[in-house]
Structure 1
Amino acid sequence: MVRATHFVVSGRVQGVGFRAYVADAARAEGLDGWVKNLPDGSVEIQAEGDLEALRRFEWQVWQGPPLSRVDEVATEDVVPAGATGFRIA
């Protein structure tokens, strides 16, 4: 069953390769969706796929790339949008 989670990640998550890291992590887990920077300095993610893959992905989001600092990850379960592939917006 396909699940979807919406994430908003705050901390030092822009200008540190965070979106590329997230896209690589999502693709490695076989997830579909997107990641984009928000004007307030946070990063927004929508990911769809298997529940266990989403849980592993969330752990990776909390880790972030070496130059990042993740302070908070707000999550919300949402209705899958039927995304194909994972893109950086």
Structure 2
Amino acid sequence: MTTEVVQKHVFISGRVQGVGFRYFIQQNAADLNLKGWAKNLADGRVEVVISGNLDKIEQMITKLKEGPSFARVHDLEVNSESTDDFSGFSIRY
């Protein structure tokens, strides 16, 4: 298991707003001990920054591709970022 801490900046498109996607992300982040934030964008996408163990982030990205039951993910854009120091996971407005 890799212990390297990394950060990913993810943009999720599809039917991802109004379906509980940010809360789905927040719950899975807590389960995987990841930090960061998620917010809805005006263009209909959800933006997410996740920070933590690389193995856990890979698990999260797999979950993001599926989303909650009412979501329909069409595309996932994943970018690497420099690591910020987050105290937890939050939803931004």
Task: Determine if the TM-score, normalized by the shorter chain, exceeds 0.5.
Answer: yes
TM range (shorter): over 0.9
Show the 5 A alignment for 1:1-89.
1-89=4-92
Shift of 1:84: 1.2
2:28 maps to amino acid: A
Q: Distance in 2 between matches of 1:35 and 1:26?
A: 10
TM-score (norm 2): 0.94
Give 1:57 deviation, angstroms: 0.3
Using the TM superposition, give the Cα deviation of residue 31 of structure 1 relative to its aligned residue in structure 2, in angstroms: 0.3
Aligned-partner Cα distance in 2 for 1:24–1:9: 17
Q: Which runs of 4+ in 1 moved over 4 A?
A: none
Identity across aligned pairs (percent)?
36
Q: Letter of the aligned partner of 1:74 in structure 2?
A: E
Tell me how large the CA RMSD over aligned residues is. 0.5
Consecutive unaligned residues of structure 1, counting only runs of 5 or more, are: none
Provide the C-alpha distance between the structure 1 equivalents of 2:87 and 2:48, rounded to a whole number of angstroms. 14
Work out the CA distance in 2 between the residues paired with 1:7 and 1:14: 15
